[in-house]
Structures are given as structure tokens and as C-alpha cells.
Amino acid sequence: MKRLIFLAIALFPALVQITSAQSNKEPAPGTWRVHLPYQTNYCVERVGNKLYCGSPSGLFTFNTDDNSIERLSKHTGLSDVEVDIFRYYESKKMSIVIYSNTNIDLLDHQTNEIINIPDILQKSMIGKKTVNSVFFFENKAYLACSFGVVVVDLDKKQITESYQNLGANGAQLEFLSLVINDNSIFASAADGIYRASLNAPNLSDFKFWAKSKASLYSNQSCVFKNQVYAVIDSTVKIYDGISWIDWPQSNSTRIKTLKSSNNKLIFVAEEHIVIENSDGTFSKKPLTFRNDAVIDERGFLAMVDNLFGLTFERTDNGNIDYYNPNGPAGKTFGKMLYYDKKLWVTGGYVNDVWSPLIYNNTKFSTFFDNTWFNYSKTDHPAIDNAKDFIDVKKNPYTNEIYLSSFGTGIFEVKNDIVTNVYDDKNSSLQRLQVADPNYNPLLSGGMDFDIYGNLWVSNFGASKPLSVKSKTGWTAFSIGTLLVGNEIGWVTCDDYNNVWANTLKDKGILVYNHAGTPNNPNDDTYKLLTKDAGQGALPSNTVLCMSLDQRGEMWIGTNQGLAILSNPGLIFNNKNSSFDARQIIIQVGSNYEVFLGKEVINCIKVDPANRKWIGTRNGVHLVSPDGYTLLKTFTISNSPLLSNNVIEIGIDEKTGEVFFGTEKGIISYVADATKGAETFNEVKIFPNPVRPEFTDNITIRGLVNNAIVKITDISGNLVYETTANGGTATWNGRNFSGKRASTGVYLVMSADEDGNQSYAGKLVFIH
């Protein structure tokens, strides 16, 4: 029977302790933050004392006054993620952001407003759809596109004109760059420079466009000193109003940028950067492999490339400075694991059938104390030749972390040092045997520890596709002729000596029982769970993920929906002929439907409150422990989620932060469930005090698991009551009638489920 001792506490408020506020290092509940790499950047632009850098991860700014860096993302108001183009228009104090999917944002730097223009993104068309460059003229932005020209009115903040099918006889023609000079449009195409008068009666008619200069390839142009500069056949030429003449510094290869900035011409090629001043003098800098450059307000040359983020050539001391927002090494990932205040993320990935090898060299990373640390061959030579790191697990009884490389073997990490590598030479893992003698990777895949601390590893394609590392060594297991090719992937262990592995050729789930003797294969049994009734009744034989919850139920995600196997211990029970999974049936209006229907389930993660976060191709869902109550749904339309395709999820059990791995990178959300504490010694209430402008949930963190929480006014009148999600409880600041609480001091009291431990704290609330 539950016992609570709240009355005594309420009668003696002098005994109540004042709790500490939230640590500055902990993210606030309900907030989002991005975790993206910013090494690769395509463009850089100066806006006053800030430099804006555009990358596949979005934008970041660098303030040249104080060297501060700010990330701009969907969380801060941008409409999309992958930035191809960023350009600033001084006369309008406005910037345009072009994303790789052709979505467009306008940034008004005077009002700090972001205006989205999704017209091109939403336009259906056959063939290629890209925006290749931007040119500002008067109150408009002219966009050179794969299908012609689009005009954005910067005053109206909308697309007002579009010129298409401008090629010969009205054929579709792609423009790679575009400028306006002397009342004419000069548009660069693959076969030359096209010209049209701005006064033409109909710029949508190809008859008003003529080829000014033929070429085999033209992709960059700008206006400098009232003349048109354009790349023509890998050479820069200048149009003087009559003819095209060579630019003296034009001999280069792989030209990246040709732009006019701050009364200077900036020419970026693969092997150097050339700057022409307004007086005609030149400077050539042996700075290689840059993508874009600009002169900042200090007179420094600021550059971006594919490896080092933002770099500066300093004119005061001749040094090169490097700046890069902290983040993971790449946007790709395999699995995530939280342990001891660290989130581990593998940098590789596999497709649905785990073939072919991706050869991803991102290695793996950890997120600790709000900072990403990326493992590299420089500090850890043992991982030099290893690629495609896809899974990570921790030994439940020791401190070792294990990571699997789909191609190399298993890596053991202790105290952040790679201490051992297990492959075919020192373990039971086997290399793939195929006809090609030069192709014999060791395809170690999914891993998990059983309740005894034995590490089970899938060995894709091996004659014995399942291996175990126990205290006495390694052992490999055969599964007979159950699977053609022995192709198994992710591994999950339950509490009944069962090892679960999804098959990769639509055969269902392999369940292997080692009878508590992992080194003795003679007493083992195994079977397949399939979609057939009486044999598992899965929604589909294509199983993508499995997760064991705190009640011992196995949650299974397939490409045709979700299923739950309530008692995995009955699978090898001969007295029980049926071990079929069940699906969740919910009421929708007057109808009953299968929850998530035939949705593709990419991943399922269990939080400390035994709730399930379910990642799909259409967003992520949080459901109650039994799955019958939908608590939250995040998509790109109602949240800063980077993409609806949520592939992997990691949970920080200390702070409740949930990391969503999407096809566009990682973003996190601070949820309201944490791991319950052993005692009430480190309870935190935040914010405290609660000020009038605060309208989010008040969070009580550091409670014992599933504690009962009551909030009363100073007189002992009950205002709110709830049960903690693991070690965290929240209050929306309203009483039982839905009214916001009055100004005053409130008592926060809690006890464990048995009433053996209790806690009391104060909360100051300002209405």
C-alpha cells in the first residue's frame, strides 16, 4: 500500500529546504538544439560585422568584433537545412538563402524577420530543379535556375516573374549564373552567354534572347567596374560593351567563385585566389581548395572550404585562423548509446539490406558536457583503416564500450582509449568468403549484451553468423539451413537467454536461445518469427528494429507497422503453441484502427519512464508505456525537426534530452523523463523563481523513480498532483481548475511509491 507523509510536511514549512536552480550547463526542458557538422561550407558573405557561412548543415555566423559564433537553423527560424547559396544585398539590408531543395528564405536584417518563399520547392516539374545563382538589381533578386529565370520582388517579398523555355525553339535551358548590366541580362548556360534587354516586351519568349558568346561551358559571372566578367570555357572574359576580352589573370582550373565584393573582384579557383582592386592592381594568393571568399570589415580574407570551416588570412600577422562551430564529424550515424553522462554516436550507416559497403570514414563521436568529441586516427591509430562504424554497446558490468565496424571487426574502448580490436585473427568472427580474392571484409554488425555480460555479435554472411564473447573467450554458432546466406543484422538480448536478430532478406526475426550456456552450442535452439499466424504474426517479414522495454515486452518495428510480443519467454516453451505478436488497436472517431497502420518503423527507443519514442519516415511519436496513448508527435511542420525521416534515437537519461538522427543530421529535444535517482539528495526545481513571462512547464528533476509529487500553497492546499516520469515531474503552473497559480511560495513534496523516502522543497511563483 502506498503511504504518503505530505500532511506533516505541509504543517511544518520551516523544515522545508530551498532547492537549487537549474545548472547553466543543462538544457532547459522543452528546448531544441541542432548537432550538425560545419566543416564543409559552400558560401560566405559579409553582413556588417558578421560573416554568414552556408553549409549542408544550415548557416552559422561569425562576429568579427568578438569572435563569437552563432548557429542558425530551423530551431532559430530558418525554413530548411541544407544551404547552397547565401547572398546579401546592401541597399535593401536583406539576404537571400537558397536551400538545396530550392526552398527560399529572405532575411530582413532591419526587422530580423525571416520570410519563406516555397514556390519553387512546391512547383511540380519534369526534370532537374535547382537554383544556381542570385543577382540583385534595383528592388529585385534574379535567380538563375535549371529551368530558366525566376524574379523575386524584395519589396513584396514574393516571386513576381518567371522566364522559362528560353533555349532554341523554346526548349528548356538551364542558366548557371546571371548578371544585369547596361540594362541587359547576361545569363550563363552550358553552351554560352545569353543576352536579353530588360525592356524586351516579353522576356518569357525565347525570341527576345540571343547568344552573346558561344562556349562549351559557362558557369560563373559578376559585374565589376561596370563591366560583365564571366567564366567562358574555364577562362574569365570581360565584356566591354562591344566584345569579350581576356581577363589577365584568367588561367585556372575548376573555378569555384567569381564575385564582386566591397569594390574588389574575388576569383576563387582550386589552386589559388586572385583579388583585383578597383585601381586594376592584383594580388594572387596560393590558398587552395576554397569554395568561396569575401573581405571582412577588418580587411581580412575570409574563406570557406570542405574541411576546415571558416578560415581567415590575417593581414596584421600573416597567420591563417580557423573557426568552426563544435559538432559531430559528420551528418551520418548508425546507433546511439547513452552512458555515464555521454552520448556515443557511431558515424557509419547501412541501408535496409546492409549492402553494399558504404565505406563511411566518419568513425564515431561522443557528446559530453555540451561538447562533441570526434574520434580520429590521429589520436587513435587503431581505427585508422576502419570504416562504417554502425553499432555501439556498453558492458553492463564493466566500463568497456564496444563498437562494431561493418568491414573491420569489433573495437573495445576503455577510459576513452581504444584498447582492443577483435577480428578473424583473435576471435570467432569470420570474413566474408566470395569469389573475388580482393574482397573479404569482416562484416561485424549488430551487438548486444545478455544478462550475464556476454557480448553477442552478428557476423553477416559468415558460415557461423552469430558469435559471442564471454569471460572465457569467443564462440561462433551455426543456424543450420534456416537462412540462405546467413544474413542477419541488429541484435537484441532479452532476459530469457534469447538472442534476437533481424534477417536482411525479408525472412523475419531469428531468435537464438543459448540455454544459459553461451559456450556450448550443443544445447541451443533457434527459430524464425515470421508474419504467419502461430509463428509470430508479425506485420511483415521485413523487420527494421527491436527494443526490449522495462516490462520485458519486445517492441518490433517493420516496414509495415508496429508489433509487440508480450512474453518473449514463451517462444521456446513447448506447452505454449502460440507466441504471436499483437498490434495496438486505437479508436479514431467511431472506428478502430491499427496504431501507425502500415508505417515504416525505423527505430524504437525506451525512455526512463518506459515510454516509447518511435521513429518513422513521417516523423517521430512518443507513446505511453502500453502504447495506447499518443503523447507527442513531431514533424517538420510542427517542430524544428530537420527531416521527417527519423532513423535513430538516443536518450540522455540524466537530462531527458532526446536526440533524433534524421537523414539531414541530428537535432535534440529536452523531454520530461529522466532516470530515477536512488535518493532525493539532488532534486532540482527550475525555473525557480517562476517569473510572469515564463509559460512553459516547471520541471522537478532528480526524483526517485516514479515518485509521487504534490504541490501545495503555503497553507497546505493541494494545487497539483502527478507521478514522475522516471526521475522527472513537470507542472504547467496551473491549478486543478486550469487557472494560473497566484503569486506566492509553493511547497513541492514527493515520496517514493512505498513511502520510505520523501522530499520537500520550495518554489517561488510570480504571477
Instruction: Output the DSSP codes for 12-64.
Output: -GGGPBPPP---TTSPPTT-EEEE---S--SEEEEETTEEEEEETTEEEEEET
DSSP state letter for 739? P
Domains of the chain by start residue, with CATH: 6-27+678-765 (2.60.40.10), 327-529 (2.130.10.10)
pLDDT score for 574: 67
Residue 589, number of CB atoms within 10 A of its CB? 6
Whose CA is closest to 683, among 744, 736, 728, 618? 728
Helix (H) or strand (E) holding 207: none
List beta partners, residue 322.
311
3-state secondary structure of 570: helix
Using 70 as the pLDDT threshold, list the residues of the chain that sit under it.
Answer: 1-25, 250-251, 253, 574-578
Task: Locate 468 and state its grid cell.
Answer: 559471442
Cα 269 versus chain centre, distance: 32
Task: With beta carbons less than 8 A apart as the criterion, state whether 565 and 552 touch.
Answer: no
Three-class SS of 358-411: CCCCCCEEEEECCEEEECCCCCCHHHCCCCCEEEEEECCCCCCEEEEEEECEEE
| Grid coordinates given for 244 | 569579350
Give strand ranges (E) for 73-139.
83-89, 94-99, 104-108, 113-117, 131-137
* Residue 37: per-residue pLDDT: 96
Cβ count within 10 A of residue 338: 20
From CA 221, how far away is CA 504, in angstroms rounded?
50
Cα atoms found within 13 Å of the Cα of residue 556, Cβ hemisphere only: 32
Helix (H, G, I), strand (E, B) or coil at 467: strand
Give the whole-angstrom CA distance, residue 285 versus residue 281: 14
Rg (CA), the chain: 31
Segment 409-453, tens digit of pLDDT: 999 999 999 999 999 999 999 999 887 888 889 999 999 999 999
HSE-CB of 657 using CA atoms within 13 angstroms: 27
**pLDDT score for 528:** 92
Which of 457, 391, 400, 395 lies closest to 427, judged by CA? 457
